[in-house]
Amino acid sequence: MLNLRDSVSRVANPIGSWLYRRGVTADLVTVFGTTASVAAALLLFPRGQLFWGTVVVTVFVLFDTLDGAVARAAGGGSTVGGVLDSVCDRIADGVLFAALVWWCFGVGANRPLAVAALACLVSGQVISYVKARAEAAGLTAEGGIIERPERLIITLLGTGLHGLGVPRALDVALWLLAVLSVITVGQRIAAVYRSARQHSHDGSEEREGEATG
């Protein structure tokens, strides 16, 4: 994963520098990429154009890496920019799965698969929420068996293969992702409990140190 990120950065950084020199901000890149991804998902997936929907959404998911490159070219991102990026990620992810639910109830005519898509939508949002809420409370909830990059890869691989006519590709992708996402929710909640115990233990040791000092 690290090598992949390094490779992406080597491509994205020169483009980010070029955009920055022309007055484009990281926040503008974030909003544009999210808007385009949302529009593509809503316009193409519900109409059954899963392959082309996958192609377009993938392009703008990769485009999303440019906001970090622009921020680095500007000397570093802002706190507000980080929040905006996280919010836009949640919007894009939610709309992607909502569009798949729409397809399941419409053109896809696959109501059982809609359950998996809904499970992916809800659990994906909860995974991110647990981490954010834990950090707000001074705790940590890192890791888990699956995170956002893996969720996108599995989903878009499933939609793309289904669009090419591979039988059950999307069913396998969404049900697998639903199970892995629920497991990840449990892992992050467990991480919060471990972090809370560690904080309590560290606090007890500090108070004992102050008492003996």
Q: Is 170 helix (H, G, I), strand (E, B) or coil?
A: helix
Active site residue 64: no
Of 64, 116, 121, give the one whose Cα is nearest residue 89: 64
Structure tokens, 169: 């590709």
| C-alpha pair distances (Å), 198 with each of 93, 127, 135, 139, 195 | 32, 21, 14, 9, 5
Closest CA to 156 of 41, 31, 5, 29: 41
d(CA 61, CA 89): 9
Q: Which tokens in the block code for residue 130?
A: 């647990």
Of 64, 85, 89, 93, catalytic = 89
**Closest C-alpha to 148, from 25, 64, 28:** 64
Active site residues: 89
